[in-house]
Amino acid sequence: MQITSSNEAVSIADDIAQGLSTISSVDVFIAPSFTELYSVSKAIEDTLLKLAGQNMYFHDKGAFTGQISVLSLKNLCQYVILGHSEPRRIFGETDDIIRQKLLKALEKGLKPVLCLGETAKEREEGNTKAVLHEQLAGSLKGLETGQMKEIVLAYEPVWAINNKFLNPDTEIRPASTVEANEAHTIIRDWLKNEFGTTTAEEISIIYGGSMNAQNAKELLSLEQIDGGLIGGASLSAEKFLPIIRIAAQLSEKQSVDYKWESNTLRFDE
């Protein structure tokens, strides 16, 4: 509910798609509001930019007022975000509901982006590992190894999300490289135990939680982090494209050379 105008959503998407036209080494999707998906899908046809739904329901169709069918998404989107901390923590989605949604997305050919993460209190109490294990076990229960290869996991610490309804009394900050690497390692090790080393290493685990152009290089340089789930910094091409460019240069094992001038990221060509 950040961008509520179709014209604005299309303009941002078009700018991102144009900036992406010379970058092919990373996969990029955006997740506009449901009401803007069709307009944005038309604007980015024949570009490298992909689309994601922000959520979906686990029935194909029926009397489920207010819900979004996977059948409505599959002709527009390639990805769908599931288990985001806001549906989990504000609207009460359980791991089992998320699991059913994930299975339905896989059945219909959408690539799920499964979000996981602990609150500030859970981290302070030393329960980060237990919370991540619980969410992984509940959300991925019954999935087969072949299905796991079609899933992206996103570590998204609740305390790093700038949302007063999630964090009314918590200082919002991105995870440090130590904190992010630790959490990603916990997730990767759990996957190894459940699905084997090969599968665990093939799965993309991305970081979400106040990633921006200032901290993208240090976070994306970590071996365990395969990408970013970008929030506020994705609301304009000016903020989002530098992150994409940093990711691309790292993926191509190029040196990432840039400097800040007038609060703008300038890359050395």
Contacts of 205 (CB under 8 A, 6+ apart): 152, 153, 154, 155, 184, 187, 188, 224, 225, 226
Per residue in 23-53, is it b (16+ CB within 10 Å) or e — as a string? beebbbbbbbbeebbeebbebbeeeebbbbb
52 contacts 113 by C-beta, under 8 angstroms? yes
pLDDT at residue number 190 = 98
> pLDDT digit string (tens) for 64-75?
999 999 999 999
Name the token pair of 133.
């294990």
Q: Which residues are catalytic?
A: 84, 156
Q: Angle at the Cα of 244 (from 233 to 240), degrees rounded to 5?
A: 25
List, for residues 196-216, the tens digit of each pLDDT value. 999 999 999 999 999 999 999
Task: Please tell me the distance from the alpha carbon of residue 168 to that of residue 52, in angstroms, as a whole number.
Answer: 28
The predicted pLDDT at position 224 comes to 95
Mean pLDDT, to the nearest integer, of 217-241?
A: 96
- Residue 42 — pLDDT band, cuts 50, 70, 90? very high
pLDDT tens for 145-158 read 999 999 999 999 99
Query: What CATH superfamily classification does 6-267 receive?
Result: Aldolase class I (3.20.20.70)
Query: What pTM value is reported for the model?
Result: 0.92
| 110-165 pLDDT, tens digit each | 999 999 999 999 999 999 999 999 999 999 999 999 999 999 999 999 998 888 88
What gap in Å lies between CA 84 and CA 104, rounded to an integer? Answer: 17
Query: What is the reported pLDDT for 227?
Result: 97
Question: Residue 140 to residues 99, 100, 131, 151, 195: CA-CA distances in angstroms?
Answer: 6, 9, 14, 10, 11
Residue 262 has pLDDT above 70, yes or no: no
pLDDT in tens, 162-194: 888 888 888 889 899 999 999 999 999 999 999
Q: So where are the chain's domains?
A: 6-267
